[in-house]
């Protein structure tokens, strides 16, 4: 922990102002569900800043717990080193641990979890012990055909990370970067075949999760095929109602 006396005054003031603004916001506990390419990654930071929530991506949290050598992290490392999958209880335990942080005081955004009904039930049990519950599940609903368009049209300039899209943001000359003239590549994952298998797995796994939360009347179905700005407006309507 760095001494506060070494933090520039401007940064301290900004953080204080941010926390004062946050203290007036309602608590929110949100789950984001959506297939790859549905725009969760675009909306998540906007929601996080607007409502002062912490963003919990279970993959990142597992890696952080392992790196920090927390008791749960050490358990997870043992399992991962054997090439096995980390148990639901362990993941929920790591989420529980993360919720103690000051940044999670106003609530959280869970992304990539729960993926199964069992995980959803375990998450509910853990939150119940804390006297809280999931407030909203944002379902980024989008047609598979639109996703295929979005994802298979993506081309990348490897050294700069610039991305292009054959349909929505094409390079000036086909297949080459606008600035360097170097060739563009397509990520191995960004092919129709890979996408098809990822979507099949996604639907099979998560439709029951969406049903589980629909029965609790907390699912909001977003029109994720719309432009990002429109989706942001939709999210704000859902969360302010």
220 vs 82, which has greater pLDDT? 220
43 part of a folded domain: yes
User: Residue 135 sits in a domain of what CATH number?
Assistant: 3.40.50.300
Confidence of residue 2 (pLDDT cuts 50, 70, 90): low
Q: What Å distances lie between residue 209 and 5, 107, 115, 158, CA to CA?
A: 47, 21, 7, 36
Closest by Cα among 189, 201, 193 to 115:
201
**Number of C-beta neighbours around residue 97 at 10 A:** 16
Confidence of residue 174 (pLDDT cuts 50, 70, 90): very high
Q: 61-78: per-residue pLDDT in tens?
A: 888 889 999 999 999 999
187, 196, 216, 237: which one is catalytic? 187
214 part of a folded domain: yes
Share of the chain above pLDDT 90, in %: 67
pLDDT computed for residue 48 by the predictor? 93
9 part of a folded domain: no
Cα atoms in the 13 Å half-sphere on the side-chain side of 48: 17
Question: Does the annotation mark 229 as catalytic?
Answer: no
CA dist., res. 240 & res. 236, Å (int): 6
Confidence of residue 59 (pLDDT cuts 50, 70, 90): confident
48, 63, 198, 226: which one is catalytic? 198
157 part of a folded domain: no
Closest by Cα among 22, 203, 2 to 104:
22
41 vs 71, which has greater pLDDT? 71
29, 115, 122, 150: which one is catalytic? 115
* Mean predicted confidence (pLDDT) in 85-93: 93
Look at strands 107-111 and 28-33 and give their pairing: parallel
28, 40, 75, 122: which one is catalytic? 40
Q: How many domains does the chain have?
A: 1
Closest by Cα among 116, 181, 128, 166 to 91:
116
11 part of a folded domain: no
Look at strands 54-57 and 154-156 and give their pairing: unpaired
Residue 148 has pLDDT above 60, yes or no: yes
pLDDT computed for residue 19 by the predictor? 87
Please provide the DSSP assignment of 17-53 as one string.
HHHHHHHTSPPEEEEEE--TTSSHHHHHHHHHHHHTP
Look at strands 136-141 and 54-57 and give their pairing: unpaired
pLDDT computed for residue 95 by the predictor? 95
94 part of a folded domain: yes
* Mean predicted confidence (pLDDT) in 206-220: 96
CA dist., res. 234 & res. 220, Å (int): 10
48 part of a folded domain: yes
SS3 92: helix
Structural domain harbouring 200: 28-143+193-240
Share of the chain above pLDDT 70, in %: 99
Residue 201 has pLDDT above 80, yes or no: yes
pLDDT computed for residue 38 by the predictor? 92
Residue 89 has pLDDT above 80, yes or no: yes
Write the DSSP symbol of residue 171. Answer: -
* Mean predicted confidence (pLDDT) in 82-97: 92
Q: 17-31: per-residue pLDDT in tens?
A: 988 988 888 999 999
pTM, two decimal places? 0.82
pLDDT computed for residue 128 by the predictor? 97
Write the DSSP symbol of residue 86. Answer: P
Question: Does the annotation mark 162 as catalytic?
Answer: no
Question: Does the annotation mark 29 as catalytic?
Answer: no
CA dist., res. 132 & res. 143, Å (int): 33
pLDDT computed for residue 191 by the predictor? 86
pLDDT computed for residue 143 by the predictor? 94
pLDDT computed for residue 31 by the predictor? 98
75, 106, 122, 154: which one is catalytic? 154
222 part of a folded domain: yes
Confidence of residue 57 (pLDDT cuts 50, 70, 90): confident
């Amino acid at each position: 922990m760095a001494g506060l006396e070494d933090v520039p005054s401007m940064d301290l003031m900004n953080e204080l102002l941010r926390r004062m603004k946050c203290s007036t916001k309602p608590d929110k506990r949100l789950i984001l569900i959506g297939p790859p390419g549905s725009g969760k990654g675009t909306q998540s930071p906007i929601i996080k800043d607007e409502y002062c929530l912490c963003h919990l991506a279970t993959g990142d949290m597992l890696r952080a717990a392992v790196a920090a050598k927390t008791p749960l992290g050490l358990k997870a490392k043992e399992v991962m080193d054997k090439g096995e999958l980390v148990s639901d209880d362990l993941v929920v335990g790591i989420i529980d641990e993360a919720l103690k942080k000051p940044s999670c005081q106003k609530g959280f955004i869970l992304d990539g979890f729960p993926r199964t009904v069992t995980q959803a039930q375990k998450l509910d049990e853990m939150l119940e012990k804390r006297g809280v519950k999931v407030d909203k599940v944002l379902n980024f609903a989008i047609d598979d055909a639109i996703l295929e368009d979005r994802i298979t049209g993506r081309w990348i300039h490897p050294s700069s990370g610039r991305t292009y899209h054959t349909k929505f943001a094409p390079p000036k000359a086909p297949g080459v970067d606008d600035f360097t003239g170097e060739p563009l590549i397509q990520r191995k994952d960004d092919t129709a075949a890979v996408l098809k298998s990822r979507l099949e797995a996604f639907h099979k796994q998560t439709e029951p999760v969406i049903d589980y939360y629909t029965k609790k009347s907390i699912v909001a179905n977003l029109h994720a095929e719309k432009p990002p700005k429109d989706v942001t407006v939709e999210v704000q309507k859902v969360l302010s109602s």
